[in-house]
């Protein structure tokens, strides 16, 4: 493989606009040099993934959706046309452009068109609404927004009109579909021109902006650099043993780091594998697609993996071609892991990742014990992990504490967020994940990580601190509980009381029955629920994780549905 035009030549140069770099926290030069010297960073722009693939495998199928497909050469050609169209609109190097498209080939076309133009995509998810998009527009200073017309009854054009009215910097709305007064996406895809040659890009500058998955407050923006994200995609594909024979299914929202680059679309492209997009991840539709395209790899959040596993009982077509199914995004109990391994695929793997960078996963061929009981081990030998106690001191090996991370693809600061950065990073540049973990230090799990909860996901009941995750683990062992969230509700006497929001499987149980069950499991009295509320489903975030903020909001509003 080429090592890139800037490797081994000291500090790379290249162009990045001053406006883009305002509020961006780069890697410190000593670590950047170490990553270049070690060959992790190659100095290429992120879209070299496409130019390389188009040169090596021009006629292979790059991307597929229900309407169309593109070979790598076709994708490179259409990305160039889009870049020419963007230039005509005055969108230029370093400009931020929000992308909010459903899972489809056009998502990939937009992403690579923007990169080809030197613009910086802001990866929004279809579930985001004006609160999130307005915030992204404000912070990023985006000049344009690319949306679909109407999906599932929601009209993105109306939302775009509201945003444009409130954010004058947002000069263009580009609509894929029926576009009314906006710029038609088709005018870019069919643009007759060729884009001008781009200046060599600074590989240490932001290639795209991801949004954080945190469940408190509005999402933050995470600038991923060309060097770091290219390394992320390539290394992830290698570690997952992806080859050109693999077919990856994007079942989660494509703009999320997980299906985008872990290995996802971008990782698949680095090895010449095909990516299939679906906007409908229901088992019925997804299984048919997996069968049709002989999909081998995909990434799912826990709730979806569990649903797919269950659906294997009744769906006529089963996803037998799958060889490696990554499940992650939130904690998975060992019971659920076994259930998914038994029902869906023995190729299930766990992944513990974050848009901020650091990825851990179980590898193909890892022992069953590791796959069931851990969330994997770090992707890179250069990932640095520290586990610390409440006072910031490192805990003894194998003990629990907060995970702090630093490495060749982990951010050094949120984009334009000084206050959050003061809280979220240690003085020597480690990102405080807020995740409570233990790193096993001996035996077959040595070096593997177990996520035991979020450090702040605790309930202060009377004088006691109760871990919501520990209680949820116990709840999930009850045969009549399908899924559960333990949350704090305000209480006059206790300060906070424990509420279990539960989706039942079959006959519901009472609070007394539940507490008798928990008593038998050895859960102490102060850590058992004070209230039990049945819900038909648990509310979820834009990527499909349980949204505890929403659970609490519904309980407080007295709405359980």
Which position has the token pair 């007064």?
Answer: 181
Which single residue brings its beta carbon nearest to ligand OOB? 213
Q: How far is the CB of 454 from ligand OOB (least distance, A)?
A: 6
| Strand boundaries in 355-430, DSSP class E | 357-361, 377-378, 384-388, 400-406
Q: How far is the CB of 491 from ligand OOB (least distance, A)?
A: 26
Q: How far is the CB of 555 from ligand OOB (least distance, A)?
A: 22
Q: How far is the CB of 262 from ligand OOB (least distance, A)?
A: 4
Residue with smaller CB distance to ligand OOB, 106 or 362: 362
Q: What is the CA radius of gyration of the chain?
A: 23
| Backbone φ and ψ of 337, nearest 5° | -60, -45
Residue with smaller CB distance to ligand OOB, 61 or 225: 225
| Backbone φ and ψ of 463, nearest 5° | -90, 5
Q: How far is the CB of 485 from ligand OOB (least distance, A)?
A: 14
Residue with smaller CB distance to ligand OOB, 71 or 424: 424
First to last CA, the chain: 54
Cβ atoms of 362 and 349 within 8 Å: the answer is yes
Residue 318 CB neighbour total at 10 angstroms: 16
Q: How far is the CB of 434 from ligand OOB (least distance, A)?
A: 6
Residue with smaller CB distance to ligand OOB, 36 or 436: 436
CA distance 139 to 210: 13
CA 233-358-65 angle, 5° bins: 35
Residue with smaller CB distance to ligand OOB, 223 or 354: 354
| Number of separate helices (H) and strands (E) present in the chain | 19, 27
Tell me how far CA of residue 437 lies from CA of 374, 390, 404, 494, 557, in angstroms. 10, 13, 10, 28, 33
CA distance 65 to 72: 14
Residue with smaller CB distance to ligand OOB, 291 or 547: 547
CA distance 39 to 52: 18
Q: Which residues bind ligand OOB (CB under 6 A)?
A: 212-213, 257-258, 262, 328-331, 350-355, 359, 375, 433, 435, 451, 454, 543
Q: How far is the CB of 543 from ligand OOB (least distance, A)?
A: 6
Residue with smaller CB distance to ligand OOB, 86 or 240: 240
Residue with smaller CB distance to ligand OOB, 379 or 535: 379
Residue 165 CB neighbour total at 10 angstroms: 9
Q: How far is the CB of 172 from ligand OOB (least distance, A)?
A: 28
């Amino acid at each position: 493989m080429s090592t890139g035009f800037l490797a081994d030549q000291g500090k790379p140069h290249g162009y990045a606009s001053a406006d883009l770099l305002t509020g961006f926290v780069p890697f410190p030069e000593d670590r950047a040099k170490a990553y270049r010297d070690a060959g992790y960073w190659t100095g290429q722009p992120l879209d070299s993934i496409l130019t390389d693939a188009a040169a090596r495998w021009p006629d292979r199928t790059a991307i597929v959706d229900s309407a169309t497909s593109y070979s790598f050469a076709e994708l490179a050609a259409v990305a160039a046309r889009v870049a020419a169209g963007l230039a005509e609109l005055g969108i230029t190097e370093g400009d931020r452009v929000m992308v909010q498209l459903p899972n489809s080939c056009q998502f990939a076309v937009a992403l690579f068109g923007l990169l080809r133009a030197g613009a910086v995509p802001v990866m929004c998810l279809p579930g985001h609404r004006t609160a999130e998009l307005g915030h992204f527009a404000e912070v990023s200073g985006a000049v344009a927004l690319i949306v679909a017309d109407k999906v599932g009854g929601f009209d993105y054009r109306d939302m775009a009109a509201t945003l444009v009215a409130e954010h004058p910097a947002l000069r263009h709305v580009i609509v894929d579909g029926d576009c009314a007064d906006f710029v038609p996406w088709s005018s870019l895809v069919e643009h007759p021109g060729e884009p001008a040659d781009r200046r060599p890009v600074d590989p240490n500058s932001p290639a795209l902006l991801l949004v954080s998955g945190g469940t408190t407050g509005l999402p933050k923006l995470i600038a991923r650099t060309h060097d770091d994200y290219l390394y992320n995609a390539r290394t992830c594909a290698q570690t997952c043993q992806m080859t050109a024979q693999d077919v990856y299914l994007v079942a989660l929202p494509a703009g999320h780091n997980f299906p985008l680059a872990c290995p996802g679309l971008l990782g698949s492209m680095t090895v010449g594998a095909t990516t299939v997009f679906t906007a409908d991840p229901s088992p019925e539709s997804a299984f048919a697609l997996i069968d049709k395209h002989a999909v081998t790899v995909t990434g799912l959040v826990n709730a979806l993996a569990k649903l797919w596993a269950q659906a294997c009982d009744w769906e006529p077509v089963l996803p037998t071609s799958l060889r490696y199914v990554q499940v992650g995004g939130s904690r998975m109990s060992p019971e659920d892991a076994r259930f998914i391994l038994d029902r869906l695929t023995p190729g299930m793997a766990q992944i513990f990742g974050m848009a901020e960078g650091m990825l851990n996963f179980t590898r193909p061929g890892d022992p069953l014990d590791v796959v069931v009981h851990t969330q994997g081990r770090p992707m890179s030998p250069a990932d640095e992990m520290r586990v610390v106690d409440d006072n910031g001191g490192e805990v003894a090996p194998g003990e629990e504490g907060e995970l702090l991370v630093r490495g060749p693809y982990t951010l050094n600061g949120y984009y334009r967020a000084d206050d959050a950065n003061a809280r979220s990073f240690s003085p020597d540049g480690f990102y405080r994940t807020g995740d409570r973990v233990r790193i096993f230090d001996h035996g077959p799990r040595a070096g593997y990580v177990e996520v035991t909860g979020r450090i702040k996901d605790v309930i202060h009941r009377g004088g006691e601190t109760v871990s919501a995750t520990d209680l949820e683990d116990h709840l999930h062992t009850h045969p009549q509980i399908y899924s559960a969230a333990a949350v704090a509700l305000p209480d006059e006497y206790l300060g906070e009381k424990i509420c279990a929001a539960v989706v039942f499987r079959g006959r519901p149980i009472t609070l007394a029955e539940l507490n008798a069950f928990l008593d038998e499991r050895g859960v102490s009295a102060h850590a058992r629920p004070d209230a039990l509320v049945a819900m038909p489903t648990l509310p979820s975030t834009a990527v499909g994780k349980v949204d505890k903020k929403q659970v609490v909001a519904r309980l407080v509003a007295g709405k359980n549905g």
